[in-house]
Amino acid sequence: MKDHQPKHKPVLLKEVIDLLAPEQGESLLDVTAGYGGHSLAILDKTHVPKTSYFVDRDDNATEELKQLVKLKGATIINSDFASATKSLHEKGMKFDLILADLGVSSPHLDNASRGFSFQKDGPLDMRMDASKGITAADIVNTSSEEALTKIIKVYGEEKHAKKIAQAIMQNTPVSTTTELANIIAKCFPFRGKIHPATKTFQALRIAVNDELTQLRYTLPLWIQMLKSSGRIAIISFHSLEDKIVKDIFLEHGGNRYDADIKILTKKPITPGDNELVFNPRARSAKLRVAVKK
Ligand SMILES: C[S@@+](CC[C@H](N)C(=O)[O-])C[C@H]1O[C@@H](n2cnc3c(N)ncnc32)[C@H](O)[C@@H]1O
């Protein structure tokens, strides 16, 4: 067992703790536990690993969590959160606190072999769970031009999706992150502030990990699984995710007599300059929190 040496800086940590307001003895479900940054800070307040559940689909993360002294006695589940939540829900489990800090961890971006980053040369993979499922290379090399355009347009919100898909089709098979980034960069002779491959990489990552379906399917279950007065916090990193959270929170918590949650964040909370200085990766984070009635 080792002390915590964070590989990932938890974003909006103070804001999550302030709004979730964990209290001694409360149970916790962290569905994207990663390297434990948020979980450990919450456990410092609740002090009950026994009623705490930590889920991550990346076994590098869950193996690290198992080594953390403070998590001894907690339940650590290596699974995608849709499957893990379904099975906890079927067992009738309820929680005081639920946290989802969506997206990728720093090790995903920093480790070239995971294939998430166009700034590092690696296999075009992008699976959070590297043990199964299709890779980003499978998608670019086997999709039709029409299907690839749709993925890049819808999941990347990329207005040049067709042009990019055509360029990719002319250069298949593509097997590395650098090859893909260069194919896309060549489509755009004028360099803007962001790399022209940014949105396409986001799109492929969302498709590979089925990110939006996971969230859309599971968020209503998390709301059901909150105990009365329980709190739920969701941190998202792109507008497609944030829209799902906003809409589902409103469906359950609008100004209706039968609303089952009260939304605590009228607008999403975003990181301040003081956080961005030491953690620029937090820049697109948006936090929404609600409390069960
Ligand atoms: C932003 S990181 C979480 C970091 C964590 N809060 C911390 O402080 O260390 C997101 C984590 O969620 C995991 N993840 C993303 N989507 C998931 C899903 N659908 N099911 C399970 N884990 C998921 C990723 O593997 C990653 O480790």
* pLDDT at position 2 over 50: no
Domains and their CATH numbers in the chain? 13-107+211-292 (3.40.50.150), 111-209 (1.10.150.170)
* pLDDT at position 267 over 50: yes
The reported pTM is 0.96
Q: How many CB atoms lie within 10 A of CB 157?
A: 14
Q: Report the nearest-CA residue for atom 15 of ligand 1.
A: 103
Instruction: Give rounded-to-5 percent helix, strand, coil for the chain.
Output: 50, 15, 35
Say if residues 145 and 165 touch (Cβ distance below 8 Å).
Answer: yes
Q: In the beta sheet, which residues pair with residue 261? A: 292
Q: What is the pLDDT of residue 5?
A: 55
Say if residues 236 and 285 touch (Cβ distance below 8 Å).
Answer: yes
Q: Return the best residue to mutate from 57, 275, 287 for the ligand 1 pocket (most ligand atoms within 8 A of CB).
A: 57
73: left (phi over 0), alpha (psi -120 to 50) or beta: left
Q: Report the nearest-CA residue for atom 9 of ligand 1.
A: 35
Q: What is the pLDDT of residue 173?
A: 98
Say if residues 143 and 151 touch (Cβ distance below 8 Å).
Answer: yes
Q: How far does residue 81's CA lie from ligand 1's centre (Å)?
A: 9
User: pLDDT (tens digit, 9 = 90+) per residue, 205-229?
Assistant: 999 999 999 999 999 999 999 999 9
Q: Return the best residue to mutate from 4, 15, 17, 32 for the ligand 1 pocket (most ligand atoms within 8 A of CB).
A: 32
For the chain, give the mean pLDDT: 95
